[in-house]
Chain A
Amino acid sequence: MMYNSEFEAMPRDEIEQLQIERLQTTLNRVYRNVAFYREAFDAAGVNIEKIKSIGDLKELPFTTKEDLVKSYPYGMFAVPLRDIVRIHSSSGTTGKPVVVGYTVNDIRNWSELVARMLTAGGITNHDLVQISLNYSLFTGGFGYHYGAEKIGASVIPASVTGDIEKQIMIMKDYKTTALVSTPSYALAIVNTMAEMKIHPDELFLKYGLFSAETWSESIRSRIEERLHLIATDNYGLSEIIGPGISGECQEKRGLHINEDHFIVEVIDPATLRPLPPGAEGELVFSTITKEGFPLIRYRTGDIASLIDGDCPCGRTLMRMSRVTGRSDDMILLNGVKIYPSQIEEALMKHEHVAPMYRIIVSSEHDTDVIEIQTAIPQNIVLDEMKVVLQYRDTVRAKVEAAIAMPVKITLVEHDTLVGLQGKGRIIDRRQEE
């Protein structure tokens, strides 16, 4: 099922024509209306009239998160504030948040794009969609809400609450058929259901759309098994639009990108050069229909690759792999790129919750070495040295298989790893030495 097959299954040459028209239009508009872009293009010596194909995109400078933070709050808006009908913003965990404005047309497009994702995930107007995402400055709740309404589904705006038992009660009593949440929230629901002794057969779930976090295939299997639903991955970014950039269809062979609204590139984060399909690198998006907050070559920091070739679902839209990590988490080890997500995936095979670990990189005799500290699972009795060592060796084998290089595994106390996130999980001692 497609929500809008005219665009989702458009012949490639027509998509390309649409993209070049819309890119040129957007460039003409940002050059006229956004001082940042006028200055950036002039400084880079780029004449936008010379951008004649999608391949010419590489002539244009990038836009970074820092650029957006510097223009706080409204510096990057391409229309006067009174044309803006909605304001969302990114979390701003470090420094100022990024403020994003939407016009009437932006909101309508956004709703349609999310409606496409929901339809690709299996949802129809017969479904009861429980949206367990925050309804706030964060784009998740409202984005899915409007998309689900557009389809004509019954929307349950459950939002995110600490009271997970209540979410489960709603799911059971209101006969929710589709869950939209973060993967970690879905796992919390799984765990609480176990405590409440509720069997998934007591629920009516069929589909789940999960986003806003990187999550591994093992987490997907666990959610699918424990909630008895088909789980699909969605990708969104509040700077670009929120949910609606890309999402998996039922084939689960990559996320279809809404290319009639966004042009995707994957670049090498080190050299900044565009990479061909199949090569992993940083996702870069240009918006080509947004009126309020258009972005040219925005570096997302998210790591993925593009997938060439046809999808059995019939969509002609280019696919991207699931996001495997952040470019700022990338570790270069003896010239080989490693992402914490690879290690996480290997550790996942031994634990049933998100693994806790720390990566320590150092240099010995001019060779980079990697050590992973991970917690001892609670079901292992520490006294039994043999079992502990056996566990350590199995973990080492899995991680070495995942990253294809030797690794040292150190088992540490659970408490020492609590609360470590993102970059905090990586210690790089190479510069110190």
Chain B
Amino acid sequence: MLRIRNLESGYGSLRVLKGISLHVNSGEIVTIIGANGAGKTTLLETIAGVVAASSGEILFDGRDLVTLSPERIVAAGCSLVPEGRQVFAPMTVRENLVLGAYIRSGREGKAAVAEDIDAIHRHFPILKERDGQLAGTLSGGEQQMLAIGRALMARPRLIMLDEPSMGLAPIIVRGIFEIIGRLRAEGNTILLVEQNAMASLGIADRGYVMETGQIVLEGTARELMENHDVQRAYLGKEYRSIGEGRG
């Protein structure tokens, strides 16, 4: 579904992605793990067209996204749920959801949008309860659900999630990951960026490990969980002594 080759991008003269190649098959959950500043968010923003790629290709069902605007990328079926639960605080929950469908509401009319909101409510019953409430008054977990729900309103075929667990209490994180698992079970394809490697490898099929703008490891979730470097650096299983003899 998604096939990326030698992707490079950055901000001004700062090169962040230094040649990323990865792929996501239809129906998979693929996770990107890595430390802060490794370039994970930049990667998702480059796929979403928010940050311009300086070279490389991003093929989405055979179509190159690199030259498309962010709106066209969403319309192509590729939605990003950005980091930090960015909901429109002064708007109601319902208005937030309707906004998520703006890319297609013109064509399909209000009835179709209302139907989709019903579907989102089945996923997230709490959003139905909060329907008329201002988004800014929701709890962190509820805001994250709203952010995911808003992305789903565009009927994406690929959902990209940037740090959905960030700043949430462990019990809420569990709930969010359950929802991600359910989305996949319904046939969605998910690219998940997470610092919480334990949780994301727990639900992912495969993963990539990023370090300073490059991918240094890839494999099935099981392989990554059994890799000692991953255990030491991201799963907190072992302390790696400095200056240990290597090569």
Contacts and interface: CB of A to CB of B under 8 A. Distances in A.
A77 interface: yes
B182 interface: no
A52 B55 CA distance: 11
Residue in A34, A78, A83 whose Cβ sees the most chain B Cβ within 10 Å: A83
Interface string A60-84: 0000000000000001111111110
Interface stretch (B65-73, B109-117, B214-222): B214-222
A25 B247 contact: no
B226 interface: yes
B227 interface: yes
Contacts of B219: 105, 289
Interface string B151-164: 00000000000000
B244 interface: yes
Contacts of B6: 52
Contacts of B5: 17, 20, 52
A235 to B, nearest CB: 25
Contact of A34 (B3, B18, B211, B247): B247
A64 to B, nearest CB: 17
Interface in B232-247: 240, 244-247
B22 interface: yes
Residue in B227, B228, B245 whose Cβ sees the most chain A Cβ within 10 Å: B228
Given A52-B6, A80-B245, A105-B226, A24 B21 contact: yes
A49 interface: yes
Q: Interface of chain A, helix or strand or loop or mixed?
A: helix
B23 A21 contact: yes
A237 B221 CA distance: 28
B247 A76 contact: yes
A14 B229 CA distance: 27
Q: Interface of chain B, helix or strand or loop or mixed?
A: strand
Given A17-B3, A52-B5, A83-B228, A33 B246 contact: yes
B178 interface: no
Contacts of A24: 19, 21, 214-215
Given A33-B247, A75-B247, A49 B216 contact: no
B118 interface: no
B61 interface: no
Given A17-B21, A34-B247, A22 B218 contact: yes
A35 interface: yes
A25 B217 contact: yes
Contacts of B228: 79-80, 82-83, 103
A265 interface: no
A33 B216 CA distance: 11
10 contacts: A21-B21, A21-B23, A24-B215, A25-B216, A34-B247, A52-B6, A81-B245, A83-B228, A105-B223, A291-B227
Interface of A: 14, 17-18, 20-22, 24-25, 28-29, 32-37, 49, 52, 75-83, 103-105, 108, 289, 291
